[in-house]
Amino acid sequence: MKTIAGWFAQAGLLSAACAGVASSNAAEPATETLPSRTIVVTATRHDVPRLDYPGSISRIDGDSISAAGATHHGEIMNRAPGTLIQRGSGQESLTAIRSPVLTGPGSCGAFLFLEDGLPIRPTGFCNVNDLFEVNSEQAEAIEILRGPGSVLYGSNAVHGIVNVIMPEPSQLPPLGLALETGSDDYRRGRVAWSHVANGTDVGLLGHYTHDGGFREDSGFDEGKLNAALVRRAGDGVLRVRFSGTVLNQETAGFIQGFEAYRNADARRSNVNPEAFRDAHSLRASAHWQTPVAGDSEFNARLIARSSRMQFLQHFLLGKPLEENGQDSVAALLSWNVPWGEDTTLIAGIDAEYSLSSLFEFQSGPTTDGTPAANAIRPAGRHYDYEVDGASVAAYAQVEREFAKRWTLTAGLRGEAVEYRYDNLMIPGNTAEDGTPCPFAGCLYNRPADGTDRFENLAPKVALGYKLADTHRVYVSAGRGFRPPELTELYRLQRQQTVADLGSERIDAFELGVRGERDAFDYSLTAFHLEKRDVIFRDANGFNISDGETSHRGVEYEFGWQFAEPLRLSAAGTFARHRYEFDRAVEQGEVIESGNDVDTAPRQLHTARLDWSPSPQWDLQLEYLHVGEYFVDASNANRYDGHDLANLRARWRFAAGWHAAARVNNLLDTAYADRADFAFGNYRYFPGRDRSVFLEIGYSPGARQGSNQD
């Protein structure tokens, strides 16, 4: 704690210095009160000025999403401080939010992915590629909350939350259409439609994308559709939403060899032409919002979800096929109750039920490894199980203003999760028919039927101080948690028959200052996170949960309209993510306390210059920097990082019509979206060469720069 206190003291001096620059007279209110220009909803599930929220949250609005024209969600989400979403092949991705880029079966459990404030997957059943199941390309906004967040969210909100907010029907044009073409046989069509009446609004939007792939046999076809109905009845509002996605992808694997991404032929090669990923998802939700008992408000949110995925595990010996799926329902009830003029209570109950399944099958004998490795990977079924999952949670959060300038926020969440596991095969590490493997048994081990239960308490407290009407400073402390993922508990290997795992927990401390005035807005945050009971696979191939890591750094974000047609925006982070334990782990690596966690750049920066020389033209130049990072846990090998530039232009040439052009990787830089070191070799997902995209669209009645076409 002494180290933490000293580190926060230094961060406090830095924050105070920035506050002094922003407001030369912090002891007195500003002479002019300006309304907050940014409203966020993720933190409290209600509209709140970002200026007043005592935590780290970034909002990327619809105009910015439209201008980016992202072909992958990482292209737009990486604008948030402390965020790095690495693109794999096609629409695949790995995520970092105030963390290293996490991999493995439980990595996705460290982040909570939402659509309109509702989780897109049930607790315990996620995939590292969850984000391709939301229509971020046509979102009204994307909010990224860094750190555990408020007590309104529980499991999986460990390092951060991503909330993709879809537009209301009233924000859509009567009819919008857009067509796009680009490098490597890229084609995309978008549509939006709405009908707004006195009591009922309906809207529809969607897109279809074909990408030929810049690597051999690596294209994909993808479709996304969203529909919404808003019905006003008296003082209440009912919102019904539907979303569906489908992806058919030919997957490209790693290229190997030191700096192989610099070789033009290697970048476009694919040694796994047989690999593929097919997935689809469906979600339907209803949200009833109504005032009760004076100024109080009641919200009832219901969601039903279903998803299926099938993919070839080309990265494993024997290349087994995996099929997984889930069907789930959840109910979220909450009350917002004002107490007098200076206190607000938010309380709620969440409940969820899910039925999940996983099936893994290898069609033939393993031949691509050593004789010993081949012998323990038999053909046939490796895993075949179902899990009934149930969870219930209750929370309460109180916010109180006192002493004119101070605000205290305190809350507590309690959550219980239970998994009932049903093994549909012979228990143990034999072949499907019970035949034993040499060398102490087959690799794949199936536990016997059982039940696992996890209970967690998560408190949070924050104290805010109004330096001036448009400048705030805050300090907060909170806890995040995640129970083990189903694959960590029941997809065991070697001699492990039971995974005795606990929930991962993270304690987060944060100090920040935020302000906005005239043509300038900024935020600066210092954070320290300590994560315990980290789940990993040790040198014996056992899933265990006694790892520890620490994460600390400084994040910044600002925007400056320094001339009428020119705006400069920037965001970034300086951070250190370290192991705090010693252990030998799988693949012969040795973790030493104090080492950097692998794939954890110490610096991430992005900047954009927007220029609107006339009402008809918008131009944007974007710069992204990913700092160097170690690619193995022993810190023996590294990737040097990269710098990229993108150029975008939009021309409104007639009423309702626009044309747009984008050049990604403007300087044609050779780089790796992801670098890794495993099995004694460097491995890379190469980044795309310079790519050009052209778009034409028609959207009468849409707001300027709308992406709803």
pLDDT in tens, 480-521: 999 999 999 999 988 888 999 999 999 999 999 999 988 999
Please give the Cα distance from 163 to 42 (Å, whole number).
Answer: 7
Pick from 524, 490, 482: which is nearest to 113 by CA?
482
Per-residue pLDDT, 440: 80
Q: Is residue 293 pLDDT above 80, yes or no? A: yes
Long-range contacts of range 559-563, CB-CB < 8 Å, 24 or more positions apart? 559/520, 559/521, 559/522, 560/519, 560/520, 561/519, 561/520, 562/519
Per-residue pLDDT, 439: 81
Residue 192 included in any domain: yes
Residue 31 included in any domain: yes
Among all chains, which residue has been given the structure tokens 């933190």? 43
Q: What is the pTM of this model?
A: 0.93
Q: What is the CATH number of the domain that holds 297?
A: 2.40.170.20
Residue 484 included in any domain: yes
Q: What is the mean pLDDT of the chain?
A: 92
Q: Is residue 28 pLDDT above 70, yes or no? A: no
Could you tell me the pLDDT band of residue 9, with boundaries at 50, 70 and 90?
very low
Among all chains, which residue has been given the structure tokens 């003029």? 341
- Contacts of 24 by beta carbon, 8 Å cutoff, 6+ apart: none
Q: Is residue 17 pLDDT above 70, yes or no? A: no
Average pLDDT score over residue span 261-287 = 97
Residue-range definition of the domain harbouring residue 240:
2-698
Residue 703 included in any domain: no
Please give the Cα distance from 56 to 102 (Å, whole number).
Answer: 20
Range with the poorest average pLDDT among 148-152, 248-252, 594-598:
148-152
Pick from 137, 164, 159: which is nearest to 149 by CA?
159
Range with the poorest average pLDDT among 51-60, 231-240, 343-352, 539-548:
539-548
Per-residue pLDDT, 708: 54
Residue 289 included in any domain: yes
Q: Is residue 668 pLDDT above 90, yes or no? A: yes
Could you tell me the pLDDT band of residue 679, with boundaries at 50, 70 and 90?
confident
- What are the tens digits of pLDDT across the range 179-206? 999 999 999 999 999 999 889 999 999 9
Total domains present in the chain: 1
Per-residue pLDDT, 709: 56
- What are the tens digits of pLDDT across the range 90-125? 999 999 999 999 998 888 899 999 999 999 999 999
Residue 198 included in any domain: yes
Per-residue pLDDT, 539: 78
Residue 294 included in any domain: yes
Please give the Cα distance from 472 to 105 (Å, whole number).
Answer: 39
Q: Is 32 exposed, middle or buried (0-12, 13-18, 19+ CB in 10 A)?
A: exposed
Average pLDDT score over residue span 40-61 = 93
CA angle 178, 130, 219 (to 5 degrees): 55
Residue 706 included in any domain: no
Per-residue pLDDT, 53: 93
